[in-house]
Chains A and B, each alone.
Chain A
Amino acid sequence: MKTVYVDNNATTQVAPEVIEAMLPYFSEYYGNPSSMHFFGGQVQKKVNEAREKVADFLGAEPSEIVFTSCGTESDNAAIFGTLDSYPEKRHLITSRVEHPAVMNVSSFLSRKGYRTSEIAVDREGRLDLDELREAITDQTAIVSIMYANNETGVIFPVETIGEIVKSNGIPFHTDAVQAAGKIPLNLKKSTIDLLSISGHKLHAPKGIGVLYIRKGTKFSPFMIGGHQEKGRRGGTENVPYIIGLGKACELAKKHLEDENTRVKALRDYLESKILEKIPNTLVNGDRSNRLPNTVSVSFEYVEGESILLLLSDLGICASSGSACTSGSLEPSHVLRAMGVPFTAAHGSIRFSLSIYNTKEEMDYIIEHLPPIIQRLRDISPFWKDYLKSQGKG
Chain B
Amino acid sequence: MWDYTEKVKDHFLNPRNVGEVENPDGLGEVGSLACGDALRLSFKLDEQKRIKEVKFKTFGCASAIASSSALTEMIKGMTLEEAERVTNQDIADYLGGLPEEKMHCSVMGREALESAIANYRGQKVVKEDFEIICKCFGVTDREIIKAIRENDLKTVEQVTYYTKAGGGCAQCHPKIESIIEQVRKEMEKEGLTPKPEKKKLTNIQKIKLIEETLGREIVPALKADGGDIDLIDVDGNKVYVALRGKCSFCPSSEFTLKQYVESKLKEFVSDDLVVEEVKP
Residue numbers of A with Cβ under 8 A of B are: 301-306, 309-310, 313, 322-325, 327-331, 342-343, 346, 378-382, 384
In the assembled complex, the Cα of A331 lies from the Cα of B29 at a distance in Å of 22
Residues of A within 8 A of B18 (CB): 378-379
In the assembled complex, the Cα of A218 lies from the Cα of B1 at a distance in Å of 41
In the bound complex, do residue A381 and residue B40 qualify as a contact, i.e. CB atoms below 8 Å apart? yes
Q: Is B15 an interface residue (CB 8 A)?
A: yes
Question: Closest CB of chain B to A343's CB: distance in Å?
Answer: 5
In the assembled complex, the Cα of A324 lies from the Cα of B33 at a distance in Å of 13
Question: Closest CB of chain B to A350's CB: distance in Å?
Answer: 16
Q: Which of B34, B38, B63 is A381 in contact with, Cβ under 8 Å? A: B38
What 3 pairs across the A-B complex have the smallest Cβ distances? A329-B167, A324-B61, A305-B61
Q: Which of B13, B37, B58 is A313 in contact with, Cβ under 8 Å? A: B13
Q: Is the interface of B mostly helix, strand, loop or mixed?
A: mixed
Q: Which of A306, A323, A343 is B65 in contact with, Cβ under 8 Å? A: A306
Q: Which of A329, A346, A379 is B164 in contact with, Cβ under 8 Å? A: A329
Q: Which of A323, A327, A384 is B36 in contact with, Cβ under 8 Å? A: A323
Residues of B within 8 A of A378 (CB): 18
| Contact flags B111-150 to A (C-beta < 8 A → 1, else 0) | 0000000000000000000000000110000000000000
In the bound complex, do residue B57 and residue A330 qualify as a contact, i.e. CB atoms below 8 Å apart? no
Question: Closest CB of chain A to B152's CB: distance in Å?
Answer: 22
A379-B57, A381-B39 are contacts. A306–B33 as well, Cβ < 8 Å? Answer: no
In the bound complex, do residue A306 and residue B57 qualify as a contact, i.e. CB atoms below 8 Å apart? no
Q: Is B72 an interface residue (CB 8 A)?
A: no
In the assembled complex, the Cα of A261 lies from the Cα of B195 at a distance in Å of 66
| 22 A/B residue pairs, CB under 8 Å, sorted by A | A302-B59, A303-B60, A306-B12, A306-B61, A310-B13, A324-B36, A324-B37, A324-B60, A324-B63, A324-B102, A329-B137, A329-B164, A330-B167, A343-B33, A378-B18, A379-B58, A380-B58, A381-B29, A381-B40, A381-B57, A381-B58, A382-B33
Q: Is B87 an interface residue (CB 8 A)?
A: no
In the assembled complex, the Cα of A381 lies from the Cα of B136 at a distance in Å of 22
In the bound complex, do residue B15 and residue A346 qualify as a contact, i.e. CB atoms below 8 Å apart? no
Q: Which of A306, A342, A384 is B34 in contact with, Cβ under 8 Å? A: A342
Question: Closest CB of chain A to B195's CB: distance in Å?
Answer: 32
Q: Is B219 an interface residue (CB 8 A)?
A: no
Q: Is B168 an interface residue (CB 8 A)?
A: yes
Residues of A within 8 A of B136 (CB): 329-330
Q: Which residue of chain B lies nearest to A347 when distances are taken between CB atoms in the complex? A: B59
In the assembled complex, the Cα of A381 lies from the Cα of B60 at a distance in Å of 10
In the assembled complex, the Cα of A35 lies from the Cα of B123 at a distance in Å of 81
In the bound complex, do residue B62 and residue A306 qualify as a contact, i.e. CB atoms below 8 Å apart? yes
Q: Which of B29, B57, B63 is A380 in contact with, Cβ under 8 Å? A: B57
In the bound complex, do residue A346 and residue B36 qualify as a contact, i.e. CB atoms below 8 Å apart? yes
In the bound complex, do residue A306 and residue B60 qualify as a contact, i.e. CB atoms below 8 Å apart? yes
Q: Which residue of chain B lies nearest to A313 when distances are taken between CB atoms in the complex? A: B13
In the bound complex, do residue B36 and residue A322 qualify as a contact, i.e. CB atoms below 8 Å apart? yes
In the assembled complex, the Cα of A251 lies from the Cα of B39 at a distance in Å of 50
Q: Is B160 an interface residue (CB 8 A)?
A: yes
A313-B13, A381-B57 are contacts. A329–B33 as well, Cβ < 8 Å? Answer: no
Residues of A within 8 A of B59 (CB): 301-303, 379-382
Q: Known pairs A305-B62, A330-B36, A380-B58; list 10 more (Cβ under 8 Å).
A: A301-B59, A303-B36, A304-B61, A323-B36, A324-B37, A329-B167, A379-B18, A381-B58, A382-B33, A382-B38
Question: Closest CB of chain B to A313's CB: distance in Å?
Answer: 7
In the assembled complex, the Cα of A379 lies from the Cα of B38 at a distance in Å of 11
